[in-house]
């Protein structure tokens, strides 16, 4: 079999991305384009979180000033500030989704939710307006119920199943799935339920973050069989699974554990090399022919963001690159996933 030397991908879209605020946002926002992406779906777990339409509109303007050549799709942080009236306002202002963080499970989830039922009127308004519900699919650790990071996603799945049963027309995305059970649950549900998969979860298992704080993210990578399920569903080309990188920049000092008392920040950073990294990984498990399906077609279809006619594709060439050791701007720095490692693909200039 001849190995392809180039691949063209139409308008790659990253449906889960953290871009933070200045000064970090000034360093990382241009990396979306650099990594080959033309659309980024922006998470609202800033400090303070994006809880109102006015904040989301202002945040979008801020990001567009930094990088005018990317389309930013905005989300709100699910909190008591979100009312059915605010949902209508958000829809009218072009906000696309609402992100739910269960309290205390990850970076910026201090103000997260404790119960889904109290938000049913909000979900009803979202279903009517056509806003998407983005779920961080983990329950908080709970020793009394034997829940920790390893089974927190599986324990969450009944919430997903119930939400879909109560709101069958509400578009729901289970974000950054890491388990075979999550893949099977999403497959078993209706067409309004989709699932994002990150690049790093296609590469790692628990062995990779146990002992390496740079690889720590939430949800954590699980068993080899779970990674296999993520790879298989992409190889299969299932239409409701697509890329959401969950690229999450953190300053190096909060990732390297210098003090035993300071916990390691959860998050892995992939934006600057995202498309070459995804191509490299898909090729490693025989799914390179599904690259465009995974990074563009499926997600764009679910979110009704079809590519504008005449959009020039992004071309990748089989030319090895080394991932940068660090990205810096002024006092800000971030260390990417697989720093220093070689990838087999790069973006053709
Ligand atoms: N994935 C992570 O480990 N971290 C994300 C938050 C999140 O999406 O969980 C972050 O904002 O750093």
* 204 inside domain: yes
Cite the beta strand spans of 121-256 per DSSP E.
132-136, 172-175, 193-197, 241-243
Instruction: Name the percent of the chain lying above pLDDT 90.
Output: 90
Is the pLDDT assigned to residue 116 strictly greater than 70?
Answer: yes
Residue nearest to atom 2 of ligand 1 (CA): 267
CATH classification of the domain holding 131: 3.20.20.140
* 340 inside domain: yes
Tell me: the pLDDT tens digits for 299-320? Answer: 999 999 988 878 889 999 999 9
Tell me the CA–centroid distance for residue 55 and ligand 1, in Å.
20
Tell me the CA–centroid distance for residue 267 and ligand 1, in Å.
5
Instruction: Name the percent of the chain lying above pLDDT 70.
Output: 99
Tell me the CA–centroid distance for residue 151 and ligand 1, in Å.
17
Tell me the CA–centroid distance for residue 335 and ligand 1, in Å.
15
Tell me: the pLDDT tens digits for 258-284? Answer: 667 778 999 999 999 999 999 999 999
What was the pLDDT predicted at 2?
63
What was the pLDDT predicted at 342?
98
Tell me the CA–centroid distance for residue 311 and ligand 1, in Å.
31
Element containing residue 200 per DSSP (H, E):
helix 200-203
Is residue 115 very low, low, confident or very high in pLDDT (cuts 50, 70, 90)? confident
Give Cα separations from 197 to 100, 159, 230 (angstroms).
Answer: 17, 19, 7
Are the C-beta atoms of 113 and 100 separated by less than 8 Å? Answer: yes
- Closest to 138 measured CA to CA, from 300, 14, 254, 246: 246
Looking at the structure of the chain, the number of domains it has is 1
Is the pLDDT assigned to residue 61 strictly greater than 80?
Answer: yes
Q: Average pLDDT over the chain, rounded to whole?
A: 96
Tell me the CA–centroid distance for residue 343 and ligand 1, in Å.
24
Is residue 123 very low, low, confident or very high in pLDDT (cuts 50, 70, 90)? very high
> For residue 173, what are the domain limits?
6-347
The 3 state secondary structure assigned to 122-146 is HHHHHHHHCCEEEEECCCCCEHHHC
Tell me the C-alpha distance between 231 and 252, whole Å. 30
* 1 inside domain: no
Q: Are strands 314-317 and 346-347 parallel, antiparallel or unpaired?
A: antiparallel
Give Cα separations from 107 to 115, 236, 330 (angstroms).
Answer: 19, 32, 24
Instruction: For residue 227, give both structure tokens.
Output: 């990674």
Best of 246, 247, 249, 334 to mutate for ligand 1, by most ligand atoms within 8 A of CB?
A: 246
Tell me: the pLDDT tens digits for 72-94? Answer: 999 999 999 899 999 999 999 99
Tell me: the pLDDT tens digits for 98-113? Answer: 999 998 888 888 888 7
Which residues sit with their C-beta closer than 6 Å to ligand 1? Answer: 18, 45, 106-108, 136, 217-218, 246, 248, 266-267
Nearest-atom number in ligand 1 for the CA of 106 is 9
């Amino acid at each position: 079999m001849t190995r392809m030397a180039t691949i063209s991908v139409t308008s790659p879209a990253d449906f889960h991305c953290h871009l933070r605020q200045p000064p970090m946002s000034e360093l990382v926002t241009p990396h979306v384009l650099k990594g080959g992406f033309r659309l980024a779906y922006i998470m609202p777990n800033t400090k303070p979180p994006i809880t109102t339409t006015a904040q989301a509109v202002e945040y979008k303007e801020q990001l567009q000033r930094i990088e005018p050549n990317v389309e930013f799709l905005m989300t709100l942080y699910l909190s008591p500030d979100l009312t059915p009236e605010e949902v209508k306002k958000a829809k009218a202002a072009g906000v696309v989704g609402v992100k739910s963080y269960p309290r205390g499970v990850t970076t910026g989830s201090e103000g997260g939710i404790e119960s889904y039922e109290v938000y049913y009127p909000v979900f009803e308004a979202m279903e009517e307006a056509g806003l998407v519900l983005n779920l961080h699919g983990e329950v908080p650790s709970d020793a009394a119920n034997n829940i920790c990071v390893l089974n927190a996603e599986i324990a969450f799945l009944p919430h997903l199943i119930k939400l879909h049963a109560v709101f069958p027309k509400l578009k729901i995305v289970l974000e950054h799935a890491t388990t075979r059970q999550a893949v099977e649950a999403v497959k078993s549900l209706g067409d309004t339920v989709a699932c994002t998969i990150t690049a790093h979860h296609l590469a790692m298992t628990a062995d990779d973050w146990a002992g390496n704080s740079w690889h720590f993210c939430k949800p954590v990578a699980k068993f080899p069989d779970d990674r296999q399920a993520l790879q298989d569903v992409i190889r299969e080309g299932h239409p409701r699974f697509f890329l959401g990188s969950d690229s999450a920049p953190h300053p190096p000092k909060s990732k390297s554990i210098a003090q035993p008392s300071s916990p390691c920040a959860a998050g892995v950073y992939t934006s600057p090399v995202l498309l070459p990294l995804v191509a490299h990984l898909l090729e490693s498990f025989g799914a390179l022919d599904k690259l465009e399906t995974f990074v563009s077609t499926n997600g764009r279809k679910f979110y009704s963001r079809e590519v504008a006619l005449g959009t020039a594709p992004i071309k990748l060439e089989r030319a090895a690159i080394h991932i940068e050791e660090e990205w810096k701007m002024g006092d800000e720095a971030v260390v990417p996933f697989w720093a220093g490692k070689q990838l087999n693909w790069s973006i053709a200039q």
